[in-house]
Amino acid sequence: MLVLVAPGQGAQTPGFLTPWLDLPGVEDRLRAWSDAIGLDLVHYGTHADADEIRDTAIAQPLLVAAGLVSTAALGAVTPGAVAGHSVGEITAAAVAGVLTDDEALALVRTRGLAMAEAAAITKTGMSALLGGDPDVSLAHLEKLGLTPANINGAGQIVAAGTLEQLAALAEDKPEGVRKVVALKVAGAFHTQHMSPAVDALAEAAKKLSPADPKITYVSNKDGRTVTAGGEIVDRLVGQVANPVRWDLCMETFQELGVTALLEVCPGGTLTGLAKRALPGVKTLALKTPDDLDAARELIAEHS
């Protein structure tokens, strides 16, 4: 059984969309989306530097556009399940047929802008914990007032909070944690600090006409499969201020009988987690069109 997954913010790199523009129709599609959402996806995906595409308001639409373009390039594919990490959930919702591609781009544009505005209210950030026992680390984060914003499985936890709280964490690491690494992000995503973005996203969601998913959809909220389109959209709205439970998503993949995991462009992060947490499952990260033939072989073998 094949699971198709979409990465979240941080997966983007300068120029990562450049090779995809050589495929027929891709540039036209990106330019149409760019006009619709008021953001030049072609420029940011090809010529912008790392600092420019780190901007939340730019990175999020760019990632969803890349995920949809690379999925379309695979041709007809019906995975056993779909899921996305953080903003990748919007990509997954479009792949599952819950949202149209245009709806997905409109929603993610609102999401990126609203989260960037929320991040500007208080100086916050995120730090990754390397090593350690998850239970010990979670208890320590709670003591410091930090939120485990991403519980990614394979021993990976990302803490989020104010810069003062994160400085305290760097000085007082949980027992067993080798290192605390500050991440280059604009704010404490998936925490209460993003609550102002929820209202903006809820307002944008009123304009959507979600359909029930045609493919099994696994949610970041709790790793559960969700069968109603309206509930998926509600979860997309609330998730910006709540932790990503990718560990539970991978547990659900196992329960569903996953044998292969394909990560759409810009792939790499989620396949890395799967290699550690899902032993025996074949993985493939879709990075450039050169990976398409191998991806189609994987799809043929495991769909």
Strand partners for 180: 129
Among candidate residues 188, 200, 208, 209, the one with its CA nearest the CA of residue 237: 200
Opening angle at CA 6, ends 3 and 12, nearest 5: 150
CA distance 257 to 230: 26
Burial class of 251 by CB neighbour count within 10 A (0 to 12, 13 to 18, 19+): middle
205: left (phi over 0), alpha (psi -120 to 50) or beta: alpha
| Residue of 34, 70, 86, 127 with catalytic role | 86
Catalytic position from the list 85, 140, 190, 302: 190
CA neighbours closer than 13 Å in the CB half-sphere of residue 65: 33
Longest dimension (CA), the chain: 54
The Cα 208–Cα 236 span in angstroms is 12
Instruction: Indicate if 190 belongs to the active site.
Output: yes
86 flagged as catalytic? yes
Q: HEC states along 50-104?
A: HHHHHCHHHHHHHHHHHHHHHHHHCCCCCCCEEEECCCHHHHHHHHCCCCCHHHH
Residue type, 131: G
Active site residues: 86, 190
